[in-house]
């Protein structure tokens, strides 16, 4: 099995794992503990329309902040206060990346479900697993790289591309990983918005066995 790592887009036609560590991956994974379906969308207007259509909870952020008029932001902590059949979610990066990955089976991973998503990827893949870092506006962010490394650590008995190997090597010391994420530009922005709780929660390791799968515009628990 070949394991590779990419930024912003996928090249795999087999299995891809999308990682948006702060915070879409954590929010989606947590939401599927109390929602049947998550519908990720790019635009705010589309999100509002779909939420009305499905009588859904409406969640989303722009630049980290909760969108005015929405029920909840892109918060894995606050989403635990909601439940229902459908959650409509729009975020700055993670939901956009999902729409751009079309040729593969798409799973969603984070620190919260790293072992479970790696195990499911191995079960589904024929020859290639690609971990896709969402980044921020197409740019590298350290939290996605380190979270990808945490997932790939569970795949390291296979053939790792150099980028994937680097992510594993960078993720060997959890204390240093936490320090890097907590002091990342993304974390500093969230902290300025009063969202320290989301940063801390998103760094919890393997608290869920839930593996989200994206197919035909919706996310469900596989």
CATH architecture of 2-22+96-214: Alpha-Beta Complex (3.90)
Q: For the chain, what are the domain ranges?
A: 2-22+96-214, 26-94
Sequence-separated (6 or more) residues with CB below 8 Å from residue 164: 3, 4, 5, 131, 148, 152, 155
- Distance, CA of 7 to CA of 136 (rounded, Å): 10
Overall pTM surpassing 0.85 (yes/no): yes
Q: What is the pLDDT along the chain (222 residues), one digit of tens a residue?
A: 999 999 998 888 999 999 999 999 999 999 999 999 999 999 999 999 999 999 999 999 999 999 999 999 999 999 999 999 999 999 988 788 888 787 789 999 999 999 999 999 999 999 999 999 999 988 999 999 999 999 999 999 999 999 999 999 999 999 999 999 999 999 999 999 999 999 999 999 999 999 999 999 999 999
CB 146 within 8 A of CB 20: no
Q: Is 117 helix (H, G, I), strand (E, B) or coil?
A: helix
- Distance, CA of 127 to CA of 218 (rounded, Å): 25
- Distance, CA of 119 to CA of 145 (rounded, Å): 19
């Amino acid at each position: 099995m070949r394991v590779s790592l990419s930024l912003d887009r996928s090249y795999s036609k087999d299995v891809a794992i999308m990682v948006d560590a702060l915070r879409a991956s954590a929010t989606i994974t947590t939401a599927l503990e109390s929602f049947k379906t998550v519908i990720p969308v790019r635009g705010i207007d589309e999100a509002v329309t779909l939420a009305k259509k499905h009588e859904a909870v409406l969640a989303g952020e722009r630049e980290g902040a909760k969108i005015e008029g929405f029920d909840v932001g892109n918060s894995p902590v606050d989403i635990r206060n909601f439940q229902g059949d459908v959650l409509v979610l729009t975020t700055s990066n993670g939901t956009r990346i999902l729409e751009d990955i079309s040729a593969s089976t798409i799973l969603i991973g984070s620190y919260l479900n790293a072992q479970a998503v790696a195990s499911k990827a191995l079960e589904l893949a024929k020859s290639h697993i690609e971990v896709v870092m969402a980044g921020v506006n197409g740019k590298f962010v350290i939290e996605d790289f380190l979270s990808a490394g945490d997932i790939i650590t569970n795949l390291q008995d296979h053939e790792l591309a150099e980028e994937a190997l680097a992510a594993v090597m960078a993720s060997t010391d959890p204390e240093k990983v936490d320090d890097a994420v907590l002091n990342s530009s993304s974390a500093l922005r969230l902290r300025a918005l009063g969202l320290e709780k989301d940063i801390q929660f998103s760094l919890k390791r393997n608290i869920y066995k839930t593996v989200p799968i994206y197919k035909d515009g919706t996310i469900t628990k596989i």
